[in-house]
Structure 1
């Protein structure tokens, strides 16, 4: 960022008269000065002059409105902003959705330089009132803040007007969600039983359908991989004998006219690239599916008839929802809707929760591909046992060297 204030206001005296001077650099790097009767006035005047020059420069570059600059933000995000890696197509699609539905209707037509902190506070209140949840409102506000941060970096605005404007979430609702998204062991046992019965069904049509969906279900259920990672599996990712599987790519859900190349990408993060053990009971099922799996050039484990990876919506609508409809539980519709809302990701949550309950937090973090053990603890720490035995062990440890 070239455009900035240069130092602090200072007093200069010429021919016995004193006045305050504030220097600043223009977008082109030229150093200019303004004078005033006080340091505060000089600094404010310099900011106003600088903001005006930045706005003129932004208009010259075609960034006449917030929406116009947001378009540049999206273009540069596809290629990698400021030397960063390009964002994944799924992330870009999410940004575009937030801009289209929540941000541009309120800010899009406004000149970029005219949006100040007061307007951003109004925008925040608008989001809280209109968005379906505070979480959605927070995501929309954070994206707008990121766009302004990039605008300041490129000297399209003097400073981020959204700095300090925030939306806080209800911590209790967030904590409740952590528990609600995880199926109970009883519920999962009923899902396991139904999936297995359908796989071994006497009805040829049902058995044929679950010939590929049951191996997918077991991989999701027993390894904790994300559904996008599961859809990205190729046969070469499995160790001999299917004892383990290496996660090295993902396949995003199909959007619009995206090509397969656009859907297939690297894992979500560096930590997401990992090798996970496959439980013994699952291996024969995977081996059986390999014999029946349609061959593809890339060796996709779960391909369509056309030889492309399955799409998330296809799996959700043709497998997950029908499976839940068949499951009889005490909670019935409430239970099914809860799992539908959390999608196939609920299987991943269940896998991680089992390891955490057993105290295997490091393994849970590694197998899930989390960024850190701290993240795993934040998301699943409430599951750590706090029974009497555990409390007695803690008491004994902390008081071991105590002398009273």
Structure 2
């Protein structure tokens, strides 16, 4: 009788590899986790070799001292790993800060103790339902001071908005999607949870009459050219503040948008790439803006002479009196003050951009032209944001057709007149 062939012993540290009931191969071993401890990690593959190679790669990273996400980790540990090891390299700093705040305030308190491998769609749905119905003032102890609702035991019912709940859900989906791509999880359970799409933020763009009043009042303001450029071109606040004279060609009447001035938590005021690849664009300047920019250049030259050696020389189009960059927050405050002095309706600075698109749509400008002017990544964004305008234009078109097809005294038995349809 022939003795059964013994399986080759695995090398120390190779881990465990076996075939699952669903046909896939699973490999498991111990690696350095995000919290500094050693935890068991699982990876998956369609073949034994694929699973073994993935596990070998993770063990090698662990041996080099790099934390590795583990399916046996808690959701909180995995989110920490994802924020600090993955998202930080892929997101703009301000976006990463918002993600981190979302994780700290909502995801970690609500799901952080749950094992990520055991997280279910029901867990996620229950968490989101609880997030909608729980007073955040009480949960986060925001009113801990004397005579505040948390201190006296009275709930103020301060709930998260639907858009914030949707944002929390999207951050969780992004983190789990990365776990799926790295084969740490077999599926993204957060994608199986459907949330109610929040209604888009309602805004009241300037009407034609209000826009004229706005431009008339702006002529007396030091930032007249900035306000006019914002309303006539729809540029974002950061794009306006990051605009440099070398980006303008006042002879041909064009502007190249290639950067945005933003305040970041670590770097202060910084020039960053535009919001999306589509935002990096070249636009035509209206004649009125070209004239205003030439006058603005002359005034800036006088400011340079007045400042003398204190002039900073940033090359920016819109600056402080000494040539330094304008802080976006300061511009917002100045804009509010301008509206008050001019007796104009209060709007956000970003509503100037909405006003540009709305006024263009009402004049019958094609949606694709507006998309390119605004620098939207997809035309669906443009169409979605300004759906209310398109519906109003549809109503006008239908009413016009109704006038044409209104009651008539013609005998219905008369044959229709011949016509040529092209």
TM-score with structure 2 length normalisation?
0.67
Identify the structure with bigger relative contact order (alpha carbons < 8 Å, sequence gap 6+).
Answer: 1
Deviation at 1:289, TM superposition (A): 2.0
Q: Is the 8 A contact 1:78 1:92 kept in 2?
A: yes
1:302 paired residue among 318, 321, 332: 318
CA separation of 1:185/1:57 partners in 2, compared to 1, >3 Å: closer, same or farther? same
Judge conservation of contact 1:229–1:250 (CA < 8 Å) in 2.
yes
Give the alignment partner of residue 325 of structure 1, picking from 340, 344, 352.
340
1:4-403 correspondence runs (5 A): 31-33=17-19, 42-43=21-22, 56-57=40-41, 61=68, 64-77=73-86, 80=89, 86-130=90-134, 131-170=159-198, 173-174=199-200, 177-178=201-202, 180-196=203-219, 199=220, 210-211=221-222, 213-241=223-251, 243-252=253-262, 254-260=263-269, 263-293=270-300, 294=304, 296-304=312-320, 307-317=323-333, 319-328=334-343, 335-336=345-346, 339=347, 343-361=348-366, 362-384=368-390, 385-386=393-394, 387=396, 391-392=400-401
Quick check: 2:88–2:96 contact (8 Å CA) kept in 1? no
Distance 1:162 1:53 in 2: 26
1:122-173 Cα shifts (integer Å, max 9, x gaps): 1111232245311110011111111011122223333222121121125xx4
SS in 2 for 1:271: helix
Give the whole-Å Cα distance in 1 for the aligned partners of 2:322 and 2:16. 60
**1: CA distance between counterparts of 2:29 and 2:17?**
15
Which one has the largest radius of gyration? 2
| Higher share of residues assigned helix | 1
Q: Give, in angstroms, the shift of residue 230 of structure 1.
A: 0.6
Give the paired residue count: 328
Deviation at 1:98, TM superposition (A): 1.6
- Aligned CA distance change for structure 1 residues 29 and 379 (closer, same or farther; 3 Å): farther
- 1: CA distance, partners of 2:29 / 2:96: 31
**Aligned CA distance change for structure 1 residues 258 and 67 (closer, same or farther; 3 Å):** farther
Root-mean-square deviation (CA, aligned residues, Å) is: 3.5
TM-score by length of 1: 0.70
